[in-house]
Amino acid sequence: MNSDADVGEIPLVAGQLPVHVAIIMDGNGRWAEARGEPRHAGHRAGVASVRSTIEECIRHGIQVLTLFAFSSENWRRPKAEINLLMDLFLSSLQRELKRMQSNEIQLRVVGDISAFPEKLQKRIRASEQATCGNRRLVLQIAANYGGRWDIIQAARKLAVAARSGDIVPEDIDEKVFARATSINDVPDPDLFIRTGGERRISNFLLWHSAYTELYFTSALWPDFDAAEFRRALDDYARRQRRFGQTGAQLEASD
């Protein structure tokens, strides 16, 4: 966990690049407050960082990007801030659809969207439908998502299948369980990034991040630009992922 280290420029080769990057975009409010602006100015500025991070993923050939846009706990925020986040989400989807198509981005929204305003739900479904054939980057927006929610909804699905006789309890293994989660046809995240200085997973991808490399930076999300992203990728490229094996075993298999 080498946050904000002054890492040198090393060339990134394909094998050292993450396939799937997941990000907790934290620090919008503090960014705005530091400028004497209302919190919503930070969220608006955060949209620009979303755009530049997507562009960087495409430039580097990263295949899956998952962004934590709204957690199940964010409902505790003031109503005005929640409404602003919903509006931002809706207007971004409207504005960015063309760009998603031209960049071949497949949009997916993961989480319980049934709690969102009807208009937003419709827009989400239409954008997912319109982009479902795109193959360059899978962009997953986690909205009203929680890692525990995802595990519970998977457990419920499997319990229903067991009750109806479609499966027996012994059928349930890691593969079967993973398929029942809401993120089930992309590889688990290789790299998790959290901006804003906190060093927590905060109920994000709990099931899926068992072997994910964690990277924390104090940069606030609106300040997270291409150089910050590159720093995270460089840091990742220096990690040795062992998946339970020893370093010597890995070197012998190289």
In the set 23, 64, 69, 105, which binds ligand FPP (CB under 6 A)?
69
* Least gap, CB of 39 to ligand FPP (angstroms): 6
Which residue is it, tokens 């059928």? Answer: 171
Residues 215-234 that bind ligand FPP (CB under 6 A): 221
The CB-based long-range contact list for 98-104 (8 Å cut-off, 24+ gap) reads: 100/127, 100/131, 100/134, 100/139, 101/130, 101/131, 101/134, 103/54, 103/58, 103/136, 103/137, 104/134, 104/135, 104/136, 104/137
74 or 103: whose CB is closer to ligand FPP? 74
In the set 18, 22, 26, 65, which binds ligand FPP (CB under 6 A)?
26
Q: How far apart are CA 161 and CA 93, in angstroms?
A: 35
Angstrom distances, CA of residue 220 to CA of 32, 68, 99, 104, 129 = 10, 15, 25, 28, 33
* Least gap, CB of 54 to ligand FPP (angstroms): 9
* Least gap, CB of 70 to ligand FPP (angstroms): 6
What mask of x and - would describe binding to ligand FPP in positions 144 to 183, judged by CB under 6 A? ----------------------------------------
Q: How far apart are CA 27 and CA 68, in angstroms?
A: 13
Residues that bind ligand FPP (CB under 6 A): 25-30, 43, 46-47, 50, 67, 69, 74, 85, 88-89, 92, 141, 196, 221
Active-site positions read: 26, 74
